[in-house]
Amino acid sequence: MAQTTSAKNSKRWWRITKKILLWMFIGQFVYILLTWFINPPITITQLVNVVKGYGLKRDYIDYDEMGPNIKLAVMAAEDQLFPDHNGFDIKAIKKAQKYNEKHPAKVKGASTISQQTAKNVFLWQGGGYFRKGLEVYFTFMMETIWSKKRILETYLNVAEMGPGIFGVQAAAKNYFNKDAKNLTRSEAAMIAACLRNPKKFTVKPMSKFVAVVSVKILRQMNNLEGDPDVKLLLN
């Protein structure tokens, strides 16, 4: 009798678990579809910044209000193959794995703009296999449903670009007192340089890292802007 009751309880909890998982799947899928059209109301990273006292400066803008310079600068700095890959740069991942095996104390990443967008919109900062697994899933879904322009637009709106500063419009206003579409190439390169660690590598006051890396980004911008696929994303 006890075994029968236990078996019934197990089946009941399994049915409840399956329903919960089904509704979670439906919920996240609906949210992915919604954020194809609208910007995320809030992200986990933004909430954490507020809780930690950094505040929240952001101003979502449309793709055509961003201007070509910041789009080019971010691709040059973060993901030069962005127009061509399916969300993952396999060569960069393998290269980073080899480097990390030899230098475990100084780990390098190989995240694409698509992966960073998935992390910033749907997940949280930090590592771990569980979060990385979710990142792969959301990146795949975004690349399947969204356009490349939508992914880049969303990234440029939600990425942290300074302590509590999110998105290119807030960064342009805060650092240069202008709209994102009016950023010069040098200014865009400075903002792109801080993306690796926006709380450590500051634009104002300019950190040594931003000063050095922004010059390298400018050179990459010159090399990249002639690519036909890149040109399509700058409009």
Task: Convert the pLDDT of each residue in 62-121 to its tens digit.
Answer: 999 999 999 999 999 999 999 999 988 877 767 666 655 554 555 555 689 999 999 999
| Per-residue pLDDT, 155 | 98
Task: Convert the pLDDT of each residue in 206-219 to its tens digit.
Answer: 999 999 999 999 99
User: In the block, which residue shows the tokens 């980004």?
Assistant: 217
Domain locations in the chain as residue ranges:
1-38, 39-234
| Per-residue pLDDT, 189 | 98
Q: Bridge partners of 166?
A: 58, 160
Check: CB of residue 163 under 8 Å from CB of residue 50: no
Check: CB of residue 129 under 8 Å from CB of residue 150: no
| Per-residue pLDDT, 235 | 84
Task: Convert the pLDDT of each residue in 134-187 to its tens digit.
Answer: 999 999 999 999 999 999 999 999 999 999 999 999 999 999 999 999 999 999
Would strands 57-58 and 165-166 be described as parallel, antiparallel, or unpaired?
A: parallel
Percent of the chain that is helix, strand, coil (3-state, to 5): 65, 0, 30
CA distance 48 to 36: 24
User: In the block, which residue shows the tokens 């780990």?
Assistant: 107
Please say if the pLDDT value at position 10 is more than 80: no
Going by pLDDT thresholds of 50, 70 and 90, the confidence category of residue 16 is confident
Please say if the pLDDT value at position 30 is more than 50: yes
| Domain range 39-234, CATH class | mainly alpha
| Per-residue pLDDT, 103 | 47
Please say if the pLDDT value at position 225 is more than 70: yes
Which residues are within 8 A (CB) of 163 and not within 5 positions of it... i.e. 6 or more apart?
Answer: 49, 54, 198, 199, 202
